[in-house]
Amino acid sequence: MRLRRGSGRLQMPVHNRWFIQVAIAPRPAYALRSPVVVTRPPNLRYQCTTAMDTVISQQSPDKIQVLLHRQYHTPDTLSPSTVSPSPLDQFRTWFTEAVQDGTVHEPEAMSLSTATPSGIPSARMVLFKQLDSRGFVFFTNYTSRKSQELLANPHAALVFYWREVHRSIRVLGTVEKINRHESEEYYKSRPVSSRLGAWASRQSTVVGEGEVHARLERLEERFGVHDGDQDNDIPVPDFWGGWRVVPRCVPFSISVYAKMD
Ligand SMILES: Cc1cc2nc3c(=O)[nH]c(=O)nc-3n(C[C@H](O)[C@H](O)[C@H](O)COP(=O)(O)O)c2cc1C
C-alpha cells in the first residue's frame, strides 16, 4: 500500500469506500505513525484540531468515531542494535522496567487471542504469571472457551500494552498445558479467596443472579474456610491450571513521532 500526501494529511486508499487516516501534520511537524489509525467514510471531512485528548465526533447519537487520540512520544529508541538478541531477555528487561516504573497499571495484564480450528478468533484479558526459557504462562479454567479453543487449535497470540511507558509487546506462538505439579505450586501461592474463586468460577457460562455468591458459600463450607483465613489446604481443581505460550516470534514496539519530511 502506498502513502499519498494530501493537503495536510496522509491518506491510504484501502478499498472503494474507506480510508485509513494515519495522522495529520502541518509541515514540518511530526506525525504519529504507529498507535493511531482512524477509519471513516471518505465523504466526511477530517477536522483538524490541536486538542491533545481523544476527540469523539458528535455527528449522530448512535455512532462513536474517534477522530484524534492523545498524542505522545517517548525518548526511547528501538532498533536491532538496541535490543537483546534473545526475545525472552528483552521481555525480562522491559517487564522489570514496567514494574519498577510504578506508573504502569497492571503490567501483567495481557490480551490473549485464540481461534477455532476454522479460524474464528476471540480475545480476552488474562494475567501473565510466569516466564522461563520455555515461554509465557497464564492460568485459567480448562473448560473455558479459551481453553477449548486452545485444545482444538494450539495457535495463540498475546499482547502487552504499557501505555504509560509507550511500549507494547506481542507474543505469537503455540501453547502447551503446563504440568500438574507446576499448576499446584502456583495455586498454593494464591490467596485463599483466589483459590476458592478457581473452584467457583465456571468460565464462559452465563451465571444467574447471586449464583456465584451461593456457590462460594457452599465451597467455604466444603473446605472449612473461615473469614480471615490466610491458609487452607484447598486442593487444585482438576479443571484448572496453566497454559504456556511457547513463542515463535516476539515483536517489540514503542510509540514515536515519525518525522514525515
Ligand atoms: C485484567 C483482567 C485479567 C484477567 N485475568 C484472567 C486470568 O488470568 N485467567 C482467566 O481465566 N481469566 C482472566 N480474566 C477474565 C477473562 O478476561 C475472561 O473473561 C474469562 O477468562 C473468560 O474467557 P473465555 O470465555 O474467552 O474463556 C481477566 C480479566 C481481566 C479484565
Report whether 252 contacts 171 (CB < 8 A).
no
User: Going residue by residue through the chain (261 aa), what tens digit of pLDDT does each one get?
Assistant: 333 333 333 333 333 323 323 222 223 323 333 333 333 333 333 333 344 567 777 777 788 888 776 666 677 778 888 888 899 999 999 999 999 999 999 999 999 999 999 999 999 999 999 999 999 999 999 999 999 999 999 999 999 999 999 899 999 999 999 999 999 999 999 888 888 888 887 777 776 777 778 888 888 888 887 777 777 788 899 999 999 999 999 999 987 655 544
Ligand 1 contacts (CB < 6 A) are 109, 122, 124-127, 138-141, 144-146, 203-204
Q: Which of 105, 113, 125, 161 to mutate to test the pocket of ligand 1 (most atoms within 8 A of CB)?
A: 125
| Host H or E run for residue 187 | helix 180-189
Angle between helices 192-200 and 211-223 (to 10 degrees): 120
Of ligand 1's listed atoms, the one at least distance from the Cα of 114 is: 26
Q: CA-to-CA distance for 166 and 183, rounded, in angstroms?
A: 33
Of ligand 1's listed atoms, the one at least distance from the Cα of 129 is: 8
Residue found under cell 484540531: 49
- Per CATH, the homologous superfamily of domain 75-255 is Electron Transport, Fmn-binding Protein; Chain A (2.30.110.10)
Q: Which of 104, 111, 113, 124 to mutate to test the pocket of ligand 1 (most atoms within 8 A of CB)?
A: 124
* DSSP-derived secondary structure letter, 163: G
Q: CA-to-CA distance for 88 and 94, rounded, in angstroms?
A: 10
Question: And the C-alpha cell for 231?
Answer: 491458609
Residue found under cell 469523539: 56
Domain boundaries, the chain: 4-71, 75-255
Query: What is the 206 CA–ligand 1 centroid distance (Å)?
Result: 14
pLDDT for 136-161, tens place per residue?
Answer: 999 999 999 999 999 999 999 999 99
Report whether 237 contacts 198 (CB < 8 A).
yes
Of ligand 1's listed atoms, the one at least distance from the Cα of 204 is: 25
Query: What is the 109 CA–ligand 1 centroid distance (Å)?
Result: 10
Of ligand 1's listed atoms, the one at least distance from the Cα of 141 is: 11
Query: What's the half-sphere exposure (Cβ side, CA atoms, 13 Å) at 248?
Result: 8
Q: Which residues of 94-110 are buried (b: 16+ CB within 10 A; e: fewer)?
A: bbeebeeeeebeebeeb
